[in-house]
Amino acid sequence: METGTSGPWSGHIPGTPGYRRLLLGLFLAGVATFAQLYSPQGLLPLISEDLSITASDAALMVSLATLGLAIGVIPWSYAGDRFGRKRVMGWAIMAACAFSLTAVAVPGLEAILAFRLLEGFALGGVPALALAYLNEEVSAASSALAAGTYISGTTLGGLAGRLLAAPIGELTDWRLGMLAVTVLSVACAVAFLLLAPTARGFTPHRTTFREAVHALAGNLRSPALLVIYAQGFLLMGGFVAMYNYLGFHLAGDPFNLPIALVSLVFVAYLAGTWTSPLAGRLAGRHGRGPVLLVSTAIMITGVLLTLVPSLWVVLPATIVFTGGFFGAHAVASGWAGAAAVAGRAQSASLYNFGYYAGSSLFGWLGGVFLAGAGWPGTVLMTAVLAVVAAILGWFLRSR
């Protein structure tokens, strides 16, 4: 239960030093978190070849990390209530870096996957608390825009992890590619701890088991929040599936691209750094519901266009798909905290639980569709998930 707001504090406002430090700090926390989480994604064909495993088994490097994150977000949200948002986020990132270092050092797929699961659990501390911290520390009028800025940090983090790991992995070894990303993440984590201002909109407090159940149950009883949580589950599931297997598609016929070149497709993530804050601004002007629906429609258009067997179409289509996804995610993730009816951090964590559970399930299932029906199978699954999300999102259109 979110209590502890004291005095007349109404949050940092745009243009002030505190606002800039908070956004830059959270931006870097997003980079540190998502660079590590997705660093294996551009390496999956190399991992598959090196360990002599299938594409769907290699994708467990991503799916088990996101599963760990999904499991971790709710416990981390209560740790943030007890010890403070910023402190706990720092603990989480540093623990994740330690697990990441261990994962690249151990032999055998099973041991690697076990440490990726633990790494994901530790990383859950950032998405569990970042948006609650943000909503408590910035003015209400600027919360949607600020959330978009944080999401753009997660976008750049995912991009940096992939672009750094893949070429290093191809030139040397996939383990060294992941190690380079861990070093980057440690630097960003330290910068976050130095930059992010001390919380003024929240006081840490103990949460009893009864209060914990009340905060979760209160949010789960809200039909609108359930629809918002479903957006994360469905859209993220399709998004991760596409990026998990797009590399296999581009490395095979008719494209036959080398892995270092395939990794450049992740530059499409830059579309998210533009559409995330844009969606936040448009949501403040036109309402979150309409912006969510338009973003999802853009995502569907993009994924369907990747069926055209031409790089001149597939690459722009990937940019369209990515921009649409991050626009939808920026709106839905900020909405989960703003529309909370009980605990704000717990509502954000429920959204993240659905978001990463979808990533784990459909990120793996997309490989089953790839094996059974080729790239069109993965595209079909992704498009159906987005259509279902849009149908559910229609009920939020007037909000």
Per residue in 258-292, pLDDT (tens digit) is: 888 888 888 888 888 788 888 888 988 888 889 99
Are the beta carbons of 240 and 359 closer than 8 angstroms? yes
For the chain, which residues make up each domain, given as ranges? Answer: 17-197+210-396
**Separation of alpha carbons 158 and 153, rounded Å:** 9
Instruction: Indicate the pTM of the whole model.
Output: 0.79
CA-based R_g, the chain, Å: 20
Q: What is the mean pLDDT of the chain?
A: 87
pLDDT at 4: 42
Lowest-confidence segment of 95-99, 119-123, 203-207, 229-233 by average pLDDT: 203-207
Distance of alpha carbon 2 from alpha carbon 382, whole angstroms: 36
- pLDDT reported for residue 3: 40
Q: What digits encode the pLDDT tens for the residues 171-207?
A: 999 999 999 999 999 999 999 999 988 877 666 667 6
- Do 191 and 25 touch, CB atoms closer than 8 A? yes
373 vs 150, more confident: 373
Per-residue model confidence (pLDDT) at position 57 = 92
Q: Once rounded to an integer, what is the mean pLDDT over residues 364-385?
A: 96
Other C-beta atoms lying within 10 Å of the C-beta of residue 398? 8
* Count of residues in the chain: 399
Q: What is the pLDDT of residues 106-160, one digit of tens each?
A: 988 999 999 999 999 999 999 878 877 887 888 877 777 787 778 777 778 888 8
Calculate the CA 323 to chain-centre distance. 14
303 neighbors 242 (Cβ within 8 angstroms): yes
- For residue 352, the one-letter residue type is N
Mean pLDDT of the region 246-255: 90
Both tokens of 241, joined, read 């599936």
Mean pLDDT, residues 389-394 taken together: 93
DSSP code string of 251-316 = HSTTT---HHHHGGGGGGGHHHHHHHHHHHHHHHHH-HHHHHHHHHHHHHHHHHHTTSS-HHHHHH
Q: Which CATH superfamily is domain 17-197+210-396 in?
A: MFS general substrate transporter like domains (1.20.1250.20)
For the ranges 126-130, 161-165, 166-170, 298-302, which has the lowest average pLDDT? 126-130
pLDDT at 252 over 90: no
How far apart, in whole angstroms, are the C-alpha atoms of residue 285 and residue 305?
30
